């Protein structure tokens, strides 16, 4: 590729990124501390230089076009790299301090977060990380946390969200349990099988039924509101449970039930409020989480 023929303006790309993450020209301009007409002109100039339309209006809202969605991931990566290089070059990552509260489920906090928290401690020792371990959604708008790791995309328009990855969930049971009761060969074999469930179990039953599993509420003899406890209940042979692939593969003596049955999609979203654009400590922690958990 002839790099001399490529004309790129980072200010235009930054204006596009802020607009895409904030959801409007006005919010993007506020995040960057510039006038809205200036930001709009920069986005328009980027569209002109690329020869594509990046946003389309839907009522009063902006929506990314297909070209905009394709560009967004690349510009995000560039923005994160630029910020991290700047911090590293100046040594300012060592100077960033303050408290950042991260909320995640018990399984996510135990299995995935320690590596990310270690990186935060190494790169920004002045940051104090508080982990709020909860399987209930915390309200970021009320500052119950600064950053959330969720399995659902937030519906609140003022939040910034990024899909980190897609994993899957499957049916798992202890091998000893399956040897004792018989391994299910078809979906019909699940009609009488005991299950262990995650509270509220009625929602779990509804999801399984939509997936085509012939299960009823009365089959869930043991229910827990803690993911790590649910794993141990499955491992100890108390019934079939729905676990993510990573959880199931880590448990000794546990195997997948009906492995050819279609998996349950489980997205992992990283979410924060718009202070991401103005707070160095939240930006740094958000970027480290995104890199580590992806």
Phi, psi angle pair for 67, to nearest 5°? -65, -40
Strand pairing category for 220-224 and 195-198: parallel
Sorted by where each starts, the structural domains of the chain and their CATH numbers stand as 3-88 (1.10.10.10), 93-163+267-293 (3.40.190.10), 167-265 (3.40.190.10)
- What is the chain's percent helix, strand, coil content, to nearest 5? 50, 25, 30
Q: Is the pTM of this model over 0.75?
A: no
CA angle (263, 270, 33) in 5-degree steps: 150
Tell me, what's the pLDDT at 194? Answer: 94
Q: Is residue 258 left, alpha or beta, with left meaning phi > 0 and alpha meaning psi from -120 to 50?
A: left
CA distances from 168 to 150, 207, 220, 264, 266 (A): 14, 14, 22, 5, 5
Task: Report pLDDT digits (tens) over 133-155.
Answer: 988 877 676 777 889 998 888 77
Q: How confident is the prediction along the chain (294 residues), in pLDDT tens digits per residue?
A: 333 444 568 888 888 888 887 778 887 888 777 888 888 888 998 888 888 899 888 776 788 888 888 888 788 777 766 665 555 544 455 578 889 999 999 999 998 899 999 999 998 899 999 999 988 877 676 777 889 998 888 776 677 888 888 999 999 999 999 999 889 999 999 998 999 999 889 999 998 999 889 999 999 999 999 999 999 999 999 999 999 999 999 999 999 999 888 788 899 999 888 777 678 888 889 989 988 887
* Length, in residues, of the chain: 294
208-241 CB burial, b ≥16 within 10 A, e <16? beeeebebeeebbebbbebbbebbebbbebbbbb
Task: Report pLDDT digits (tens) over 210-233.
Answer: 988 999 999 999 999 999 999 999
Tell me, what's the pLDDT at 106? Answer: 93
């Amino acid at each position: 590729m002839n790099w001399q023929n490529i004309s790129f303006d980072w200010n235009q790309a930054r204006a596009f990124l802020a607009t895409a993450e904030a959801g409007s020209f006005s919010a993007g301009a506020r995040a960057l501390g510039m006038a809205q007409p200036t930001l709009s002109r920069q986005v328009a100039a980027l569209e002109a230089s690329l020869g594509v339309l990046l946003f389309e209006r839907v009522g009063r809202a902006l929506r990314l076009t297909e070209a905009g969605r394709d560009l967004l991931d690349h510009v995000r990566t560039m923005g994160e790299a630029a910020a991290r290089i700047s911090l590293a070059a100046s040594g300012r990552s060592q100077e960033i301090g303050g408290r950042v509260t991260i909320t995640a489920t018990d399984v996510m906090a135990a299995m995935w977060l320690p590596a990310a928290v270690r990186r935060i401690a190494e790169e920004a020792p002045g940051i104090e990380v508080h982990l709020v371990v909860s399987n209930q959604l915390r309200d970021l708008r009320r500052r119950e946390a600064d950053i959330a790791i969720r399995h659902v995309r937030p519906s609140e328009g003022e939040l910034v969200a990024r899909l980190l990855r897609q994993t899957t969930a499957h049916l798992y049971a202890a091998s000893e349990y399956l040897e004792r009761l018989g391994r299910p060969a078809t979906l019909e074999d699940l009609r009488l099988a005991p299950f262990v469930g995650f509270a509220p179990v009625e929602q779990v039953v509804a999801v399984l039924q939509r997936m085509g599993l012939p299960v009823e509420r009365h089959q869930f003899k043991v229910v827990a509101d803690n993911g790590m406890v649910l794993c141990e209940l499955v491992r100890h042979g108390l019934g079939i449970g729905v676990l993510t692939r990573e959880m199931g593969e880590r448990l000794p003596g546990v195997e997948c039930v009906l492995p050819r049955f279609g998996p349950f999609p489980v997205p992992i979203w990283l979410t924060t409020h718009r202070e991401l654009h103005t707070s160095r400590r939240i930006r740094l922690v958000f970027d480290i989480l995104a890199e580590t958990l992806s």
